Structure 1
Amino acid sequence: MVDEVSPAAVEELLDGEDPPLVVDVSTEAEFALGHVPGSINVPLSNLVSHLDRVAGAERIVTVCPRGEASVQAVRLLSAYEGTEDARIQSMAGGLAAWDGPLEEGLDEGAEGDEEDGDEKN
């Protein structure tokens, strides 16, 4: 069973002294439309090839539009070296359940991904 955390709890954690790393596993196009402030975008299809962006984090919260892909992301991250000591949780209900503020735009730290870079909306 995957550990989930409520959107309200995520908002509290983000306001705390030691906020988690929020990893949004949505596509770049979905991420650009709105995401949890301060989150990084690592699309689920590219997660394994970008583990370096999450390695070493003590607490990771995965996010997606509806809370389904983020559950898969927790399972993937839990299986890899570099995240074995982290507490990894999925935000229950995804962005659909998030009542907090949203940021728009792309992740400045993202590395160009050929698959997602060709998408046009």
Structure 2
Amino acid sequence: MSAFAIAHLRPAAPHADIAAYMDRVQATMAPFGGWFRVHNAQVEVVEGSWPGFVVVIEFPGMAEARAWYDSPAYREILPLRTRHIEGDTVLVPGVAADYDASATAAAGKAAA
């Protein structure tokens, strides 16, 4: 089942380190089957507030997502971004293709 690395990144001034990070990040994802689903996208806010932009990277599973984030190659370039862009990053498992929210709702009703 797919897993995702999702980052909510705040606006930042252009910097050579950020360009270097962006130039190198794709190569760190490839060994773990990662690919961008959303990159540097401005969002359309329909509820609440969301300053900045979003990045979504899909991986084959949580093991690959964790292995990428913890990999020496990614850890080497990560400070190029984090020194200049504030943000939040999460790793999250996806749901199966046949996921049905009504089953989750039924379990919630039964527990209530």
Q: TM-score, normalised by structure 2?
A: 0.29
Q: TM-score, normalised by structure 1?
A: 0.28
Q: Which has the larger share of helix?
A: 2
Q: Which has the higher contact order (CA 8 A, sep 6+)?
A: 2
Q: Which has the larger share of strand?
A: 2
